[in-house]
Amino acid sequence: MTPFLPALTATRAPLLLSIMTIATAVLALSGVAFGSSWIPIDRVAAVILGAGDKTQSLIVLQLRLPRVVIAILAGGGMAVAGFLLQKITRNSLASPGVLGVIDGGALGVVIFLAALSDKSNTLVTSIVFQPLAAMAGATLGIAAVFLLSGSQSVSAVRLLLFGIAVGAVAKALVMVMMLVGPIYRTSQAARWIAGAVNEVNWTEIQITALLLLPLLALALAVARKLPPADLDEISARSVGLDLPVFRLLVFAVAAALTAVSVAFVGAIGFVGLMAPHLARLIVGRSMVAGIIGSFLLGAFMLVGADLVVRVLFSPTEVPAGTVTAIIGAPYFLFLLMSKQRHDG
Amino acid sequence: MTANPAPSISIDSLTLAYPGKTVLDTVSLDIPRGKITVLAGPNGCGKSTLLRAIRRLHRPVSGRVMLEDIGVADLSEKALARHIGLLAQNPSAPEDMTVEELVRLGRYPHQTMLQRWDSQDTRALEAAMAGTGVTSLRDRPLGSLSGGQVQRVWIAMVLAQETEIVCLDEPVNHLDLAHQLDCLDLVRQLNAEFGRTVVLVLHDLNLAARYADQLVFMRDGGVAAYGTPDDLMTQDLIARVFNVDAMIITDPAYGRPLCLPLRTC
């Protein structure tokens, strides 16, 4: 413990974040280069900059780049939501996946698809409203968890149980909607539930980006106010953090971030749990660096997961959500077990 | 209390209830400026609740708490945190948080969107750590400190807030005898040196009598009696408030009243 340690970490954060940015960019480029046919990185760059031949342009711009871009946005958005939730609940097990946020969002989307499609399975309204439906569902999900858990929400494991219960109800309702809904919607909803970044088009990416960027800015602004949230409720309030107000604000921002992230790619689990943990390990307690780090790591994880399914299972399209779940679920179990020992 | 400046805090007919239970029943009390006021009473008498109500951590059903001519109900959360610091009964912070990181949080209410950390904050941070003797621990994680050290760090955080009023809720709970004295001596020193108005909740009647300028006995959500320790530490009052038959003697070392509990009554 040298006296220079905090200063060192503080100055290291920008460097670490730069390294993470570069790593994510490299992975994203590889994500575009890899696939059923290999396109060299320089060709990828050429296409993105406006040159390149027609076939390569089509593959890069219409097939591969969209899924990489949406993976960055969705992975990053969910990670930031997870970071905020873990901070405000002081609970390292909190994440959009276990607090009913994602399942609530899924229910919102499935109801939206079922209710607003006509007989020929075309949406009677604009696709722009799909993220809003997800937001409504996600907000209802997390609100239900916290209203039901009430004063028990301070206990990590109790909160989790309520989250799982609410999530189960939402999942069951989604299942019912799928079974009674039109066939085409069923396949779309099934894909949504597993979480996949393929088949996302540029319009959907634009909608996601337009909604996500202001929310990320808001998350940064909120996070700057949050340092006292590391303390217990009374201490946090007595140094002037208006916790009852901030808690609602953070839940709303996290629910909206999650909903927008998953609106088109579906329920991708565990990124929102793992990325903030890793970010904290790397950049420490700083709120702003934590948000940026979470975003980068979440983006990295989802782009990576998608790359893995494409390389391993090509030409079958396996949803990227399966990879994050295969890695995330055991990690979650590990956390749960060590937490259990802690709580006694 | 010879001179009578305006009280630091005036509590006026404060009533506070949890669902189905009245916890404070029309409590009125003045907290004298620059003095140490100790709230004491049996379990569940409402002393901690009163302390938290002063800091507006609970909303009263009726009545009000005034800081001179401002009601605490009218202040923003941050403005209130610049007037009153409060150390919770069982405060908790992450184990890997360093001493300095925690004490820095005491400066939170002094920072706004426009005004970030400045030399004033640095000065207050250093003064708070020096005043509580934790400067040499500044880079240590909280998890590596003893209970007595941790309590000093929390006091440093409250001190860094630079509030004219400091509330401490059972600050010596869980501390051994040496650290209890250490902690309360520190509080008295801060009161004497910086002129802070201190409101303490203490369980131990003899510690209360030893450190209080004004002692307040509470019972059943109301103030049973208040005054100097000499006024309050009587056989009669202690029987009435605590249901204990006690013998009151004068402690030979400090000349303060000392209560020897004999049996419940």
Predicted confidence at residue A309, as pLDDT, reads 86
On whether residue B2 sits in a domain, the answer given is: no
Question: Three-state DSSP class for A177?
Answer: helix
On whether residue B43 sits in a domain, the answer given is: yes
Selection from B147, B131, B240 nearest residue B188 by Cα: B131
Cα–Cα distance between A136 and A259 in angstroms, integer? 8
List, for residues B43-100, the tens digit of each pLDDT value: 989 999 999 999 999 889 999 999 988 899 999 999 999 999 999 999 999 998 999 9
What's the average model confidence in pLDDT over B143-163?
93
**HSE-up of A225 (CA within 13 Å, CB side)?**
20
Best of B48, B97, B105, B166 to substitute, by most chain A Cβ atoms within 10 angstroms, is B105
On whether residue B200 sits in a domain, the answer given is: yes
Burial B10-24 (b: 16+ CB within 10 A, else e): bbeebbbeeeeeebb
Instruction: Indicate the residue of B91, B101, B108 with minimum beta-carbon distance to A241.
Output: B108
Predicted confidence at residue B6, as pLDDT, reads 81
On whether residue B74 sits in a domain, the answer given is: yes
Amino acid letter for position A251? F
Q: A101-115 and A183-194 helices cross at what angle (nearest 10)?
A: 160
Predicted confidence at residue B38, as pLDDT, reads 97
Backbone CA torsion sign across A198, A200, A205, A207: negative
Which segments of B57-141 are extended strands (E)? 62-67, 70-71, 84-87
The secondary structure of A291-328, three-state, reads HHHHHHHHHHHHHHHHHHHHHHHCCCCCCHHHHHHHHH
Question: Which tokens is B79 given?
Answer: 């403005």
On whether residue B126 sits in a domain, the answer given is: yes
Q: Which of residues 276-305 of A touch B (CB under 8 A)?
A: 285
Burial B170-207 (b: 16+ CB within 10 A, else e): bbbeebeeebbebbbebbbebbeeeebbbbbbbebbbb
Question: Which tokens is A233 given?
Answer: 């409720």
| CATH number of the CATH domain containing B48 | 3.40.50.300
Mean pLDDT of all residues in chain B? 91
Q: Which range, of A49-53, B163-167, B201-205, averages the lowest pLDDT?
A: A49-53
Predicted confidence at residue A119, as pLDDT, reads 66
Cα–Cα distance between B50 and A312 in angstroms, integer? 64
Residues of B with CB under 8 A from a CB of A: 52, 55, 57, 76-78, 80-82, 84-94, 96-98, 100-101, 105-106, 108-109, 138-140, 154, 157-158, 161
Q: Report all structural domains of chain A as residue ranges with CATH numbers, in order of start.
A: 13-343 (1.10.3470.10)
Predicted confidence at residue A188, as pLDDT, reads 67
Instruction: Indicate the residue of B81, B89, B157 with minimum beta-carbon distance to A240.
Output: B81
Strand (E) or helix (H) holding A277: helix A271-283
Pair A290, A223: CB distance under 8 Å? yes
Predicted confidence at residue B125, as pLDDT, reads 95
Q: What is the pLDDT along chain A (344 residues), one digit of tens a residue?
A: 333 344 445 568 889 999 999 999 999 988 888 877 788 878 888 888 877 788 888 888 888 889 899 999 999 999 999 999 999 888 888 888 888 888 898 888 888 877 777 766 666 777 778 888 888 998 899 888 888 887 766 666 777 788 889 999 998 988 888 777 765 666 666 766 777 777 788 988 999 999 999 999 999 999 988 999 999 989 999 999 988 888 889 988 999 999 899 888 887 888 999 999 999 989 988 899 999 999 999 999 999 998 888 888 877 777 888 888 888 888 888 887 876 555 43
Contact A220/B at CB under 8 A: no
Provide the whole-model pTM: 0.86
On whether residue B89 sits in a domain, the answer given is: yes
The most confident of the ranges A124-133, B25-34, B109-118 is B25-34
Q: Which residue of B has its CA nearest to A285?
A: B97
B178: domain range?
9-264
C-beta atoms surrounding A116 within 10 Å:
15
Instruction: Indicate the residue of A227, A235, A240 with minimum beta-carbon distance to B91.
Output: A235
The CA distance from A79 to the nearest CA of chain B, in Å, is: 21
Beta-bridge partners for A313 = none
Cα–Cα distance between B167 and B174 in angstroms, integer? 18
The more confident residue out of B103 and A115 is B103
What domain count does chain B have? 1
Predicted confidence at residue B88, as pLDDT, reads 93
Contact call for A228 and B108, based on CB within 8 A: yes
B84: chain A residues, CB-CB within 8 Å: 238
List, for residues B206-239, the tens digit of each pLDDT value: 999 999 999 999 999 999 999 999 999 999 999 9
Q: A271-283 and A287-313 helices cross at what angle (nearest 10)?
A: 130
Best of A151, A226, A239 to substitute, by most chain B Cβ atoms within 10 angstroms, is A239
The CA distance from A342 to the nearest CA of chain B, in Å, is: 13
On whether residue B259 sits in a domain, the answer given is: yes
Instruction: Indicate the residue of B55, B96, B97 with minimum beta-carbon distance to A238.
Output: B55
On whether residue B57 sits in a domain, the answer given is: yes
Q: Which range, of A109-123, B140-154, B192-206, averages the lowest pLDDT?
A: A109-123
Amino acid letter for position A11? T
The predicted complex's ipTM stands at 0.90
Listing DSSP states for B15-50 in one string gives EEEETTEEEEEEEEEEE-TTSEEEEE-STTSSHHHH
Cα–Cα distance between B184 and B191 in angstroms, integer? 10
Question: Which tokens is A247 given?
Answer: 């808690």
